[in-house]
Amino acid sequence: MMTVGEVAMQAGVTPDAVRYYIRIGLLHPKRNPKNGYRLFSVSDVDRLRFMVRAKELGFTLAEIRRVFSDIAAGGSPCPRVRNTLQRRITENKKVIAELVALQERMEVAQKEWQDIPDNMPSDKIFCHLIESNDD
């Protein structure tokens, strides 16, 4: 059996992360009856390492909780994992495309504004560079 610090080190997370996962119900350590310390097993380390790998793939804690629920219900989590990953890939591609478009607009604006002189704001114009920018 391991303490919070030991299980954290084994899984490569902080003790605070372990305590948080306990608080939200993703980890369920036993208690030492003599001193009340939380005690973790090797299976808790495995569960924590799984959570770390899932987070590295972009899964949220809520999604990880659903994976554990599928397992607890006796089902395979694989269909949910595949669907979640596919949805996340689609979302990421959309965000990446939006960021590329934004980067291109910013670079065009920077090039266009490079030689334009500075102007003072007025009652109707805050910054003539931005307000004259064509999208």
Per-residue pLDDT tens digits for 41-57: 999 999 999 999 999 99
Residues 27 and 49 placed together within one structural domain of the fold: yes
What is d(CA 128, CA 135) in angstroms, rounded to the nearest whole number? 15
Residue 45 and residue 5 in one domain: yes
Residues 69 and 103 in one domain: no
Q: Which of 75, 99, 120 is the last residue of a domain?
A: 75
Confidence of residue 37 (pLDDT cuts 50, 70, 90): confident
Same domain? 12 vs 51: yes
103 and 46, same structural domain? no
Last residue of a domain, which of 43, 59, 75?
75
Same domain, 89 and 45: no
User: Would you state the pLDDT for residue 134?
Assistant: 66
Give backbone dihedrals phi and psi of 118, rounded to 5 degrees, phi first.
-70, 145
For 23-41, what is the mean pLDDT?
90
Q: How would residue 111 be classed by pLDDT, with cut points 50, 70 and 90?
A: very high
Q: How many structural domains is the chain composed of?
A: 2
**Chain mean pLDDT for the chain:** 93
Residue 46's pLDDT is what? Answer: 95
Whether residue 86 is found in the same domain as residue 67: no
Q: What is the pLDDT of residue 19?
A: 95
Q: Are residues 60 and 95 in the same domain?
A: no
Q: How far apart are CA 77 and CA 61, in angstroms?
A: 15
For the residues 13-38, what does the mean pLDDT come to? Answer: 92
What is the rounded CA–CA span in Å between residue 129 and residue 74?
61
* Domain that includes residue 102, residue range: 81-135
